[in-house]
């Protein structure tokens, strides 16, 4: 009865609203449900260097410590990755005389140029993983000392030219 009283312009507007809502819900479903499954539920076979941001997101989502496990998160920039090897650290701790050493497992938590400030922003995620220990590896390359040296040399050269 109400249908008969609506003019064709109103029907088109209502259909447009319904189609827009359905498209919005479809995109939300794809973005929140289907894409995370397609991107992160399959094993990550990529080398660390090929796609470091994807590797970080994949690792971040999949780091879980069991209730009987004691976790060690090793954080730092991707340069620090070459200074610390989680598997080797795990093996060293497990074979040491540390109490409950066999329960420890180390995981790397890093992306390119991970600074202490970035680590602070990830603190909620890190705390949710409930590690026993978080280690931030600082590599001298992260300090960019060569940049500071070049900048000072440029200042020195420019002041010498004025003299």
In terms of residue numbers, what domain contains 94?
52-145
The pLDDT tens digits for 130-160 are 999 999 988 777 776 766 666 666 666 666 5
Residue 19 lies in a domain: yes
Residue 160 lies in a domain: no
DSSP string, 62-95: H----TT-EEEEEEE-HHHHTT--HHHHHHHHHH
Q: Are residues 19 and 78 in the same domain?
A: no
User: Do 77 and 142 contact (CB within 8 A), yes or no?
Assistant: yes
Q: Are residues 73 and 127 in the same domain?
A: yes
Residue 72 lies in a domain: yes
Q: What is the pLDDT of residue 51?
A: 80
Q: What are phi and psi of 64, to 5 degrees?
A: -145, 135
Q: Are residues 7 and 80 in the same domain?
A: no
CB atoms within 10 A of CB 74: 22
The pLDDT tens digits for 28-79 are 999 999 988 888 888 888 776 678 788 888 888 889 999 999 999 999 887 7
How many domains, the chain?
A: 2
Bridge partners of 154, per DSSP, are none
Q: Is residue 22 over pLDDT 90?
A: yes
134 closest CA partner among 84, 99, 68: 84
Q: What is the pLDDT of residue 40?
A: 82
The pLDDT tens digits for 76-119 are 887 777 778 889 999 999 999 888 889 999 998 988 888 888 88
Q: In which band, very low, low, confident or very high, does the pLDDT at 129 lie, cut at 50, 70 and 90?
A: very high
């Amino acid at each position: 009865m109400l249908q008969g009283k609506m003019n064709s312009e109103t029907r088109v507007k209502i259909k447009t609203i319904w189609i827009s809502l359905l498209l919005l819900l479809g995109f939300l479903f794809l973005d929140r449900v289907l894409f995370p499954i397609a991107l992160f539920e399959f094993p990550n076979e990529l080398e660390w260097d090929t796609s470091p941001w994807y590797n970080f997101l994949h690792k971040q989502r999949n780091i879980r410590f069991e209730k009987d496990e004691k976790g060690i998160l090793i954080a730092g920039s991707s340069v620090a990755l070459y200074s610390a090897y989680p598997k080797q650290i795990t093996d060293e701790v497990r074979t040491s005389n540390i109490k409950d050493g066999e329960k420890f497992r180390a995981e790397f938590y890093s992306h390119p140029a991970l600074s202490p400030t970035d680590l602070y922003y990830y603190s909620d995620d890190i705390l949710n993983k409930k590690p026993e220990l978080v280690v931030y590896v600082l590599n001298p390359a992260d300090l960019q000392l060569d940049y500071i040296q070049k900048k000072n040399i440029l200042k020195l050269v420019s002041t010498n030219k004025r003299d």
